[in-house]
Amino acid sequence: MSSVKVECVVKASALIGEGPVWEESDQTLLFVDIAGHKINRWSPTTNQMQSVETEDSVGFVVPRVSGGYVAGVGRSIVAVDWSTEMMTSLVEVDQDKPTNRLNDGKVDPAGRLLAGTMGKEERPAEVQKGQGSLFSVASDLTVTRHLRQVDISNGMDWSLDQKTFFYIDSLSLTVDAFDYDLNTGNISKTHLYPLTYTLSPVPSHLYPLTYTLSPITLSPYTLTELSHSYLSNL
């Protein structure tokens, strides 16, 4: 740990900065400010950051195959046109729980979006427990609920062979590993891995050991989360 150099690359003044995703095509870093209602895009080449404001809390943003982005705003999954700053609602989840909000979201290697919700947050990590769910959204906008009674739906990633899906419900203090069918998006046979140590009070994100991003290198200690930049086919 003593040899790790921590450097601030973006002074975003975010209220809750989350969800960094590297956009390979443009060589930019995407991330959101959940409570600040902003989607941010930073270029390490120019050291410039652009932002688009959202009407509600924003849990995640991911690149889209057809251009632009897909984001989780409030309980809606929206398409984002960066050039016009316009947002179009694609689907809404948890219609029966109006105080819920979308939190983390990731795209699987097939382009399918997985996104989770959480209950109302009174204070950081103090939420209405068991109110969240984990959903997937297919290219035809079919929504499938995979998990219920989640506290804080959070970090997601896939194994290199794409057969295992890793998932965090932050307050459970475990990492869940599911068998994953990439063709159907179905998950099954959960395996629990209790955390014997953490880098923060509660687990929130998953990431490989190191990502090398031209022209910078980010380690797991410089960001709390960095995911594969798969493109959404929504």
Is residue 172 classed as helix, strand or coil in its secondary structure?
Answer: helix
| pLDDT of amino acid 209 | 36
pLDDT score at 214 = 32
Cα 138 from Cα 147, distance rounded (Å): 16
Q: Among residues 182, 115, 193, 178, which one has the least CA distance to residue 150?
A: 115
Residue 6 DSSP one-character state: P
pLDDT at 230: 84
Token pair listed for 48: 């410039």
**pLDDT reported for residue 24:** 87
Predicted local confidence at residue 42, as pLDDT: 95
Rounded mean pLDDT for each run of 10 residues along the chain, 234 residues in total: 77 90 91 96 94 97 95 98 96 96 95 96 82 97 96 91 90 87 92 56 46 33 47 89
Q: How far apart are the first and last CA of the chain?
A: 40
The whole model's pTM is what? 0.84
Under DSSP, the state recorded for 56 is S
Contact criterion met (CB below 8 Å) for 86 and 78 = no
